[in-house]
Chains A and B, each alone.
Chain A
Amino acid sequence: MAVEVRMPTILRKYTSGAKAVEGSGSTVREVIEDLDQRHPGVRGAVVTDGGELHRFINMYLNDEDIRFLGSLETPVSDGDVISILPAVAGG
């Protein structure tokens, strides 16, 4: 499955400045693993050593927060878009 992954400014140092990169896999975790092959450092920035999504990272699959879907095991389909955003205070 080919998936577009949109990177926040802070993570573009791993993607040679690219705002969006392509990854493949059948789950969000597999896409991140795949990205890390070509853009080393991406996985470490968004996934903890314990294999969980980093606390201060929000990841969205087509606008839906993956924490309320299946977290990193959420299945992805061809043409999906994953967006990575840092947690920001509001109010």
Chain B
Amino acid sequence: MRADDILGAIGNTPLVGLPTFGPGSDVKILAKLEGHNPTGSMKDRIALRMIQEAEASGALTPNKIVLEPTSGNTGISLSMICRRKGYRLVCVMPDNVSTERIQLLEMFGTEIVHSPAARGSNGAVALAKEMAADTKYFMPYQYGNEANPRAHYDGTAAEIVRDCPEVDVFVAGLGTGGTLMGCGRRIREHNPNAQIVAAEPEYGELVYGLRNLDEGFIPEIIDMTVMTRRIKVGTEDALRRTRQLVEQEGIFAGISSGAALHVAVRVAEKLSKGTIVVLLPDGGWKYLSTGAYGGDFAAAVKRLEGMLWA
């Protein structure tokens, strides 16, 4: 694979079988390894698409500062892309994200504005929206930007139906909803009976905090009719599957990958025949400091409980 620059190396990630997780020879689970993108997550795809579309429409010009609320991966992807393209970038994120994430942003020269951890990622979104009233900023806003699902419709999902035309079930984590919307639409066009299953992270209580329910948040790009099922996954199940991915398959992935795999395995157990594609959004590098991959399991779960691990 040869590309003109690093941005040309985004996408075309491997789709690999997980032979130790299939309950029998008639039910197969394949994993889309999005950790193989240049900054190690599938957010490279959507960050690039949002920037490209904004440049094309004239919403983003060289004098503007890019501003985005993000708990991590989108910020890292935007940091790399803005560095390559020469834009200034400001990311708004809650206080309680992992240290590697902050180091990565700072390495690329991104400025960080912290929002209070107690108000979680919803607080980061609210603060970024306030700041974006200033016209010096351009906010891609992954939660409401259709370029996000489009990146998956034209990229991720096109690769999946090319590499695995027999796909019956697609499983991915629910964050902005971009992956599920973009991949869900394309995969259902390809196979109208396909199940589109969301894995919803269930964090520790601290993450949900005491915030008012009226301050709740549902990303604008989410259309509930694209999904057919949503299953919540707690920290313990997510971490157990993340460790199993390393132990059984030799795949080093992030915690939300474990959550998605947990849902894929549950769906697989009820199938007599079929092919499940599960999207593993990132690699494990950014979670090493949490002690997720070794040592006492219960202690690792406890540490992760207070974090936004997806």
Chain A positions near chain B (C-beta within 8 angstroms): 8-10, 45, 54-58, 60, 63-65, 67-68, 83, 85-91
Contact = CB atoms under 8 A, between A and B. Distances in A.
Contacts of A64: 229-231
A43 to B, nearest CB: 13
Nearest to A19: B205
B208 A86 contact: yes
21 contacts: A8-B205, A8-B208, A9-B210, A10-B212, A10-B213, A55-B218, A56-B217, A58-B232, A63-B231, A83-B202, A86-B208, A87-B216, A88-B121, A88-B217, A89-B121, A89-B122, A89-B125, A90-B201, A91-B43, A91-B142, A91-B176
A9 to B, nearest CB: 6
A91 B143 CA distance: 8
A86 B214 CA distance: 10
Contacts of A55: 216, 218
A10 B121 contact: no
Contact of A90 (B121, B205, B228): B121
B contact residues, range: 35 or more
The binding surface of chain A is classed by DSSP as mixed
A50 B222 CA distance: 23
Nearest to A8: B208
Looking at chain B's contact residues, the main secondary structure is mixed
Contact of B74 (A57, A86, A91): A91
Interface string B41-73: 001000000000000000000000000011101
A10 B310 contact: no
Interface in B174-197: 174-176, 178
